[in-house]
Amino acid sequence: MKRVYNFSPGPSMLPLPVLEKAAAEMADANGSGQSVMEMSHRSKDFKPIIERTETLLRELMKIPPNYRVLFLQGGASLQFAMIPLNLAGVEAGAPKKKITLVDTGIWAKKAADEAAKYAGVDIAASSKDKAYTYIPAPPPAAADSAYYHITWNNTIVGTKWPAIPDTGAVPLVTDLSSGILSEPIDVSRFALVYAGAQKNLGPAGTTVVIIREDLLNGAPSWVPAMLRYDIHAKEASMYNTPPCYGIYIIGLVLEWLRNQGGVEAIAAVNREKAALLYDYLETSAMFFSPVEKNSRSLMNIPFVPRESDPDKKAAIEKRFVTEAAAAGLVNLAGHRLVGGMRASIYNAMPLEGVKALLAFMEKFEG
């Protein structure tokens, strides 16, 4: 069997033991004589699977009891609409509510653009002036803001909030797609946390929403049933057929994570992995990290050639990505809008994978 080290930003690597367990259970899960894909979502066979996934997530993230966990579809991108609809939506004809958002990159901008269809968006701060290479100081939220939105880990530019901002009584919402379970995060500081699964949780197709109960019932009457948190919560994520297989794989990933020692243990490994790359980039004559030190991501590490001539720079990038792939280190090209290179090193990327990348970079640099 051939396995590469996959540095993709998402969908991304899954732990091998998870894939092996899923393969072993493919045709007969838990003695049911069926695969999880073939089970009725309302059956006695599937119920323990979704319940176990939720229990493990609650345990690993220390989710307080007054929060609901929802397994939805539509990716993080659908949350860009669902959040304003449910938290800031108004009945037809009523004046729009206001929301506050900090613009830290492409995903934050998308969340802002979508929210602007339903609410007045106040961009409280932006790091666009320096190509999003830092997290701006968070201004206080206006007291009449329906919620305050931040993008915790910015997958494309490789930044992460250095601390959770204090927004007082204004509900704090975060896109945690590429940061979930990478390090301990105090869920109780947030009103709503959401994450597409395909970065650090499992396969694409499932979105996890963790929402404080008092925010469930804010959607105006015209919001479609499938976009309402109240309905998904009331039906325990079974208003319609949930993404059953994705929920099952997330459960296996969470079980694997618990076997690694949980979030604190994986965070220590993640810090070690990231430090190897950042330390190298500090002294490399060929590459550097464009991100300010106090804003650096643990999960997505962009690096760019120091070469300033655009043609020579592009040639280095092309040769790097091609030769790395030939060495079994794949998906290292930076985002199409940003360029350069980027190593995404989520929980499932082993320390050995980062060491292999480092050895390759040192050799490449010569």
75 belongs to the binding site for ligand PLP (CB under 6 A): yes
**Could you tell me the smallest distance in angstroms from the CB atom of residue 344 to ligand PLP?**
9
Nearest CA-CA partner of 252 in 12, 37, 73, 57: 57
**Could you tell me the smallest distance in angstroms from the CB atom of residue 105 to ligand PLP?**
8
Q: Is 273 a catalytic residue?
A: no
Catalytic residue, chosen from 161, 175, 256, 273, is: 175
* Angstrom distance (rounded) from CA 344 to CA 180: 14
Catalytic residue, chosen from 45, 103, 107, 109, is: 107
158 belongs to the binding site for ligand PLP (CB under 6 A): no
State how far the alpha carbon of 84 is from the alpha carbons of 91, 101, 111, 146, 257, in Å.
13, 11, 9, 9, 32
Nearest CA-CA partner of 100 in 115, 78, 114: 115
CA 279 to chain centre: 24
**In 3-state terms, what secondary structure has residue 153?**
strand
**Could you tell me the smallest distance in angstroms from the CB atom of residue 199 to ligand PLP?**
6
CA 278 to chain centre: 21
Q: Which stretch binds ligand PLP (CB under 6 A): 73-81, 137-145, 316-324, 336-344?
A: 73-81
Do residues 231 and 86 touch, judged by C-beta distance below 8 A?
no
Q: Is 113 a catalytic residue?
A: no
Q: Which stretch binds ligand PLP (CB under 6 A): 52-60, 93-101, 170-178, 317-325?
A: 170-178
77 belongs to the binding site for ligand PLP (CB under 6 A): yes
Binding track, positions 216-245, relative to ligand PLP; x by CB under 6 A: ------------------------------
Q: How many CA atoms lie within 13 A of 40 on its CB side?
A: 3
Site for ligand PLP in 175-214 (CB under 6 A): 175, 177-178, 196, 199
45-51, long-range: CB < 8 A, 24+ apart = 46/244, 49/244, 49/247, 49/248, 49/251, 50/237, 50/242, 50/244, 50/247
334 belongs to the binding site for ligand PLP (CB under 6 A): no
Q: Is 214 a catalytic residue?
A: no
Do residues 295 and 131 touch, judged by C-beta distance below 8 A?
no
* Angstrom distance (rounded) from CA 257 to CA 56: 10
**Could you tell me the smallest distance in angstroms from the CB atom of residue 53 to ligand PLP?**
18
Catalytic residue, chosen from 109, 160, 199, 273, is: 199
284 belongs to the binding site for ligand PLP (CB under 6 A): no
Site for ligand PLP in 103-132 (CB under 6 A): 107
**Residue numbers at the binding site for ligand PLP (CB under 6 A):** 10, 75-77, 107, 151, 155, 175, 177-178, 196, 199
Which residues participate in catalysis according to the annotation?
Answer: 107, 175, 199
